[in-house]
Amino acid sequence: MAKDDLSISETTLTDDGEHLHLKIRVHNPSNRTRHFYSSKRALRYDSATKTLEVQMSDHGLAEPRLLRYGDEKPTTFILPSFTSVDPQSDTELSISLPRTIIRPDIAKSTTTSMKFERVPIHEATALKVDIAWSNTPYYEDPRIPYDHRQQLVNWAKGVATHKSARKAPPATDQTDKAHDIDGDQGGEQHTDRDEKDKNRRHKDRKRNRDGD
C-alpha cells in the first residue's frame, strides 16, 4: 500500500438485538479528495473461525445475467452508494447489517434440490472489511453499458482492507447487582425491626407508668 492510499483505521461492530451496526473510520493521507463505496456489496461468514467479511467493492463478483431464448440479457443492476473524504482528514461510515444471513447449504443440497441455511453472523468474533476507492467520482461508461461490475472494478484505484478482532461489549456483573439488592433489602428489614422494638419499649414504659 502506498503512503497516499486510502486506509481503514478502525472498525466497530455492535449488536442491538435486532440489527448489527458497523462503524468504519476511514483515513485519507493524500492531498486529494478520495471517493469510495459507502454500501456493502457482499457478506461472507466463516463459521469455523467466526469471521465476518463485509465486502464494499465489486472485485471478484460476477456480472448479473438473465438467460432468455439463448441470448444474454442484462438484468437490473443496483449501483453502490458512494461518499468521499477530504484531503488529509478522516471520516466515519455507519452501516446497518442483518443479524443472520441465508446462504446455500452445500452439504445438504443435491443436483436437483437446493437447500439453504440460516447463519447467525451476529456471533462473529473477527471482522474483515474491504472498501474500493478512487481519485475521481464514478461515472458509467456508455461504451460498455451492460458490464456494470467491470466498470466499477476499472474505476477503483485501490481497495482498502482492515482485519481485526471484534471487541465484545463489557459484561454486566449480575452477581454484584444481586448482592447490592440483597444488601438493600436486608437494611430495610433491619430498620423496620428496630422501629418495632422501639415502639414496643415505649409501650412497656407507658404501661409501667400507668400501673404506678
| pTM: predicted TM-score of the whole model, two decimal places | 0.72
In the structure grid, which three cell numbers stand for residue 23, read together?
Answer: 462503524
The pLDDT assigned to 152 comes to 96
CB 85 within 8 A of CB 93: no
DSSP character for 122?
Answer: G
Q: Which of 33, 42, 52 is nearest to 80 (CA)?
A: 42
CA distance 132 to 82: 10
Q: What angle do CA 82, 23, 2 make, to 5 degrees?
A: 65
Task: Tell me how far apart the alpha carbons of residues 212 and 207 are, in angstroms, rounded to a whole number.
Answer: 9
Rg of the chain over CA atoms, in angstroms? 31
Position of cell 473461525? 49
CA geometry: angle at 98 spanning 63 and 94, to 5°? 85
pLDDT, one tens digit for every residue, the chain (212 residues): 788 999 999 999 999 999 999 999 999 999 999 999 999 999 999 999 999 999 999 999 988 764 444 455 556 789 999 999 999 999 999 999 999 999 888 888 888 888 889 999 999 999 999 999 999 999 998 888 778 899 999 999 999 999 999 865 444 444 444 434 344 444 444 445 556 566 666 666 656 555 55
Q: Which residues pair with 14 in a beta bridge?
A: 21
